[in-house]
A and B are shown apart, each in its own frame.
Chain A
Amino acid sequence: MEKLYKKVNGVRIELTAKEVEEYIQRQIEAAKLAAEEESKTE
C-alpha cells in the first residue's frame, strides 16, 4: 500500500498505523453509503 499523509499546519506528515486503519475504515463506510444511495435510485 502506498504511504498516506496528512497535512498539519502546512507540513506533510505520514499517517500512523492507527490513522491508516481509521482511513481504511472510512473508505469502507463511504463505499457502503454509496452502494445504499445507488440502490435507492435504481
Chain B
Amino acid sequence: MPKLSDKTALTTLADGDLIHTVDVSDTTSSAAGTSKKIVASDVKTYMADYELIETATASTDTSIDFVLPSGYTSFQVIASGIQTTTGSTSLYFRTSSDGGSTFDSTTGDYSYTNFRVGTTTTAIYESATNTFIELTRSSLSYRHTSIILEITNPTDSNYTDILFRAKWSSDGLESLQVGNGSGVRRASAAINAIRFYPSSSTFATGTFKLYGIK
C-alpha cells in the first residue's frame, strides 16, 4: 500500500469524495481503531459552525414559523423582500416553548426596545410588558422590509435574548426607516420555535432563512 505522501494531491473536495478515517470506537481491527471511509459532505456537516437550517418563502401566509432544532447555541434569521398584502402593517415576533404548538401571547411575556431613524421621523419605542416583540412599526404604507434577527441563548433557562435590526420603506420608496432593537422572552424557559407575523393582513412575499450557530 503506497504511503499517504505518495498519493496524488487534491486541492478541493466535492460532496461525494471519500476520506480515509479511523473509527477509534470500533476496535474490531486493532485496539487503536478500524479504518473506514467517510464522504466529504458528512465531514462538512461535522465541521460546520454556521449553517443554513431552513428556508421559507412567503405567499399569502398569516405567519412564518420555524421549529428550532437542538444542537445550536444561537440562531439567526435573515429575512428579505418582505411585503404584506396591504400596507399600514407592523411586523411582530413571538416565541414558543412547546415546539410551536402554542406561541407565548400573554401580556408580560415580552419586553423590547427599538430605536428607529427615518427620513421624516426619529423615535424610540419600548414596552416592558407586551404580548409580542415589535420589530417594525408602520402607520403609513411602509411594507418593503428586511430583517436580521438573532437569538443568542435559546436554551438558557433564564430570559431569552433577542437582537434585531430592520429596514422598511414605503410603497413609493420615498420614505425609509431603520430600526435597531432588542427584546427578551420574560420566562425562565428554553424556547424551541419562533414566529414572525404581520400586525394585520398576510405576508405577500419574502424569503426567511433560518441559520444555526454551534
Contact = CB atoms under 8 A, between A and B. Distances in A.
Contact of B63 (A6, A9, A33, A34): A6
Contact of A34 (B59, B61, B67, B88): B88
- Name the interface size band of chain B: 20 to 34
Interface string B52-87: 001111111111111100000000000000000000
A14 B182 CA distance: 31
A30 B54 contact: no
B139 interface: yes
A31 B65 contact: no
Query: Which of B54, B199, B200 is most buried by chain A, counting CB atoms within 10 A of its CB?
Result: B200
Contact of A9 (B54, B57, B89, B200): B54
A14 to B, nearest CB: 10
Given A30-B200, A37-B139, A6 B62 contact: yes
A10 B62 contact: no
B100 A8 contact: yes
B134 to A, nearest CB: 12
A7 B61 contact: yes
Interface residues of A, number: 19
Given A34-B88, A37-B139, A7 B65 contact: yes
Given A7-B56, A34-B88, A37-B139, A12 B61 contact: yes
A30 B55 CA distance: 28
A27 B59 CA distance: 18
Given A6-B63, A10-B56, A10-B57, 10 more contacts: A4-B202, A5-B60, A6-B62, A6-B65, A7-B63, A7-B65, A9-B66, A12-B61, A26-B200, A37-B139
